[in-house]
């Protein structure tokens, strides 16, 4: 089995991976800022899932390949310290601000947000904003729930399958099964749909697409493809990269709802298997751009940006509504973008960075370097 190329042969830091994180979060933020009709914000989430699966699986594999045993306690401690402090701060502060502004959050809504169940809560109950013109602050938490659901079971599954030399076949089967499951749900969840399987019916008929987009059981393959690349090794051959790039571009041109909602994420995962290794090699103009200090800084800030931009945009929604201004107009942009950047920087500096030392005690190699410096250890 090939040595995983997650962070270099010995776990060396690869700045281009943070550059790809920067692309991921900028796609998401820009699409939420009113550019969703021209930019593929959904691909930003898919790319982030892929990177997560690639990095975390590679870190686990290095322990197994060295003959060691996985410490599940240390792994879950690292995950807890990585995600929970910032998400907890966001959930409490954004939720409280929403309520103070006159919004209403049910006890179930709070529980789902705090317990990484917001994606399924979105499908079967829904976070509906009670503020005119405003968004609900917890609608952004769905992707964190999917990641945590995957990593609850993945370390133990990886260790078991590794001993039986069945990891690659199992992940390949999972990716195929996910595709078939999405296809089945697409057909079942049409109008009028099946509420017990598809979530609550909606007047706009979008429950079919929401079921495929927000649920853990329909999005696991986006993480699994990244894990699969860590297992098979990062080959940087030209034909793989060219084929991957062409396939990725093709996914943005797919015609019809079935192709876009069912096939697209699978095809993007396959495309990234070929393209991702070439991108993280850091060669050529694209590689240098991904490894540049500004791109690396935005990538390291991506988690905080993902959380806090949604809350900042909610504040801009409220101010624009009160002023009678257009959402995504000049006033909205003047409030939303600086506020999102400022909140993300504060969160990174005073919540994420203080957790780094604790994560390192639990075995993490995350760097303590400031945002303006390129780290020298694997993130």
- The whole-angstrom separation of Cα 368 and Cα 190 is 49
This prediction's pTM = 0.92
CA-derived radius of gyration, the chain = 20
For residue 41, the number of C-alpha atoms closer than 13 Å in the C-beta half-sphere is 15
In this structure, the number of other CB atoms found within 10 A of the CB of residue 62 comes to 20
How far is it, in rounded angstroms, from Cα 257 to Cα 238?
A: 32
User: Cβ–Cβ contacts within 10 Å for residue 100, how many?
Assistant: 8
Strands (E), the chain: none
What is the C-alpha separation between 215 and 142, in angstroms, rounded?
8
Of residues 186, 184, 161, the one with CA closest to residue 172: 161
Residues in the chain: 379
Helix, strand, coil % over all residues of the chain, rounded to 5: 75, 0, 25
Q: Concatenated DSSP letters for 318-347? A: HHHHHHTPPTTSHHHHHHHHHHHHHHHHHH
10-residue mean pLDDT profile of the chain (379 residues): values are 39 87 97 92 96 94 85 90 94 96 95 96 90 92 96 94 91 96 89 72 67 94 96 72 94 94 96 94 88 93 96 95 91 96 96 86 73 60
Q: Where are the domains of the chain?
A: 15-361
* pLDDT for 99: 95
Nearest CA among 341, 304, 335 for reference residue 317: 335
Q: Degrees (nearest 5) of the Cα angle 263, 44, 318?
A: 120
Distance, C-alpha 313 to centroid of its chain: 19
The pLDDT assigned to 163 comes to 85
Give φ, ψ of 6 to 5 degrees. -55, -55
Could you count the other beta carbons within 10 Å of the beta carbon of residue 107?
A: 7
What is the structure's pLDDT at 360? 80
Residue with tokens 């853990």: 216
Tokens of 240: 């793989």
User: How far apart, in whole angstroms, are the C-alpha atoms of residue 299 and residue 290?
Assistant: 10
Is residue 58 within 8 A of residue 335, CB to CB? The reply is: no
CA-closest candidate to residue 305, choices 84, 22, 38 = 22
Half-sphere exposure of 290 (CA within 13 A, CB side): 22
Res 32: pLDDT: 95
End-to-end CA distance of the chain: 24
d(CA 157, CA 141): 25
**Cis previous bond, 91, omega within 30:** no
Q: How far apart are CA 109 and CA 136, in angstroms?
A: 11
pLDDT in the model for residue 108 = 96
Instruction: Give every CB contact of residue 172 below 8 A, 6+ residues apart in sequence.
Output: 228
């Amino acid at each position: 089995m090939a040595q995983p190329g997650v962070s270099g042969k010995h776990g060396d830091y690869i700045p281009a991976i943070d550059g790809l994180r920067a692309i991921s979060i900028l796609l998401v933020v820009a699409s939420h800022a009113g550019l969703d009709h021209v930019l593929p914000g959904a691909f930003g989430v898919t790319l982030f899932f892929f990177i997560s699966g690639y990095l975390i699986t590679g870190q686990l594999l290095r322990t197994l390949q060295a003959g060691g045993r996985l410490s599940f306690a240390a792994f879950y401690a690292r995950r807890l310290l990585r995600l929970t402090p910032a998400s907890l701060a966001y959930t409490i502060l954004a939720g409280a601000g929403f309520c103070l502004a006159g919004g209403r959050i049910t006890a179930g809504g709070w529980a789902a947000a705090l317990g990484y169940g917001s994606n399924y809560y979105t499908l079967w109950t829904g976070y509906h904003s009670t503020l005119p013109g405003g968004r609900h602050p917890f609608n952004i938490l769905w992707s964190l729930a999917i990641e945590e659901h995957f990593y609850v079971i993945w370390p133990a599954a990886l260790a078991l399958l590794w001993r039986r030399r069945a990891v690659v076949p199992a992940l390949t089967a999972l990716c195929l099964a996910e595709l078939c499951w999405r296809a089945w749900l697409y057909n079942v969840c049409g109008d009028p749909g099946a509420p017990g399987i598809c979530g609550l019916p909606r007047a706009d008929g979008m429950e079919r697409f929401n079921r495929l987009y927000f649920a853990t059981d329909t999005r696991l393959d986006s993480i699994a493809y990244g894990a699969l690349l860590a297992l098979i090794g990062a080959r940087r051959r030209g034909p793989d990269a060219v084929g991957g790039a062409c396939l990725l571009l093709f996914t943005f041109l797919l015609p019809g709802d079935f192709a876009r909602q069912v096939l697209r994420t699978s095809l993007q995962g396959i495309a990234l298997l070929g393209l991702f290794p070439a991108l993280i090699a850091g060669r050529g103009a694209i590689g240098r751009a991904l490894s540049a200090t500004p791109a690396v800084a935005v990538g390291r800030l991506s988690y905080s940006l993902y959380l806090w931009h949604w809350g900042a945009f909610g504040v801009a929604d409220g101010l624009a509504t009160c002023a009678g201004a257009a959402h995504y107009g000049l006033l909205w942009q003047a409030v939303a973008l600086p506020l999102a950047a400022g909140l993300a920087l504060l969160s990174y500096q005073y919540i994420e960075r203080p957790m780094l030392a604790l994560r390192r005690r639990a075995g993490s190699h995350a760097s303590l370097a400031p945002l303006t410096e390129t780290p020298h250890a694997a993130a």
